[in-house]
Structure 1
Amino acid sequence: MNILIVSATHSESEKITSHRFDHHLVHVEVTGIGMTNTAYHLTKILSKGTFDLVLNIGICGSYGRSRPIGDVVHVIEEIFSEIGATDADGNFLDLKKMGFKHFTKDGKEYYNRILNPNKLSDFFDYYPNNVKEVRSVTVNTVNGDARRIESIKSLYDPHVENMEGGAVACVCLQEGIPFFEFRSISNYVEPRDTLQWNIPLASVNIQHFMIEFLSHLK
């Protein structure tokens, strides 16, 4: 297989080099932070080559403290939590409530949510039991305000948040390329206090996980 690994920053993938692994060819690319950078650069990369699988890796913030900082999670659903409108009372209206589709693929309409239809067992012969499947919101603004955090939780009940996953899912799904997303927790989504974060630990852990996980490719 021809496999593409994408991360938002160099520090999230620098330990993984582009290489041939058994009969697989692994490419590593950095897209830049945020949905716009990711959508542009990923689309450009895919236009220049043919890939059988895309693996999106990086860090994330966790809603709740049930898992420690540094833990790796498997994102199976991405939610665009900010695409929509607000009414006169300040209530959020998602795309479905507004009557607009995000996109249509194979006759299915997508709005703010993308549930990954791909199965890991089709590509890997092993799945670590300690890696939790989670639901994530993709955001333009990392949430550090208590009122905003509570609003997101009440609307979507997410486990984690990140800034690129929805864009990768959107591009890959429309291009018909299987994809998976793994992230390591760098912080808790709480009133902002970066002294409690550990981005270096999360960045190292997600790479160690992915290097090991690649050895289980079918």
Structure 2
Amino acid sequence: MTWAAAGTATALALADYSLVVSAGIGGGFAPAAPLGSLVVADAIVAADLGAETPDGFLDVTELGFGHSVHLPPAELAARAAEATGALLAPVLTVSTVTGTAARAAALAARHPMAGAEAMEGFGVAEAAAAHGLPVLEIRAVSNVVGPRDRAAWRIGDALTALADGFRVLGPVLANWGERHEHDHR
């Protein structure tokens, strides 16, 4: 997450943008986000940034150390999901990829509406927020969140789905950018 934040902050400092898009592959929460599907984030969540306590996990918001959620522009996220046929759901940013059924169950219990997990989105969203820019996150599902089974991963299918999604997403982003460009200049 930190390298994504640093790289995004550097890029934003060197040019003028009106929207930041974080896109890539990630794990999908079954059955809502099957292999090869797309998830557009309606919330970008730092899912494991916080503290374990005897009473359970406390995120950074509950600890009073900041916030653990970034919200993409609702209208843009909904239009992007509709155009691409994606699931509109929270995307969790994790610092350690889920590799066990117990960890998957714990994340699903804390975030029952989650569609996917990845490692970069929250860092990118933090950098965008620091520059006063909106952010959108899109994930193509390459594997199921749960026990690590590299033989079951479908990275090629996920990348194809992501490329196909961006072919239809272009006009949505352009239209949104034209209507909101003056908001961030």
Q: TM-score range by the shorter chain?
A: 0.7 to 0.9
Q: Distance in 1 between matches of 2:64 and 2:32?
A: 36
Report the AA paired with residue 189 of structure 1: V
Q: Which runs of 5+ in 2 are unaligned?
A: 176-185
Question: What is residue 58 of structure 2 aligned with on the other side?
Answer: 93
Q: CA RMSD in A?
A: 2.2
Give the counterpart of 2:86 among 122, 131, 143.
131
Alignment partners' CA distance in 1, 2:73 and 2:130: 12
Q: Retained in 2: the 8 A contact 1:118–1:179?
A: no
Equivalent position of 2:159 in the other structure: 203
Q: Structure 1 residue 152 and structure 2 residue 144: aligned?
A: no
Q: What does 1:46-85 correspond to in 2, within 5 Å?
A: 46-85=12-51
How many residue pairs get aligned? The number is 172
Larger-Rg structure:
1
1:171-182 pair list within 5 angstroms: 171-182=127-138
Instruction: Describe the superposition over 1:23-51 as per-residue Cα deviations: whole angstroms up to 9, x where unpaired.
Output: xxxxxxxxxxxx11111111111111111
Partner AA of 1:94 in structure 2: D
Identical aligned residues as a percent? 28
What TM-score, normalized by structure 2, do the two folds share? 0.83
2: CA distance between counterparts of 1:203 and 1:197? 12
- Asked which structure has the greater RCO (Cα within 8 Å, sep 6+), the reply is 2
User: Are the structure 2 counterparts of residues 118 and 46 from structure 1 closer, same or farther at C-alpha, using a change threshold of 3 Å?
Assistant: farther
Question: SS where residue 55 of structure 1 aligns?
Answer: strand
User: Runs ≥4 in structure 1, deviation > 3 angstroms?
Assistant: 124-127
SS of alignment partner, residue 46 of structure 1: helix
After TM superposition, give the deviation of residue 149 of structure 1 in Å: 1.5
TM (norm. structure 1) is 0.71
Match of 1:40 in 2: 6
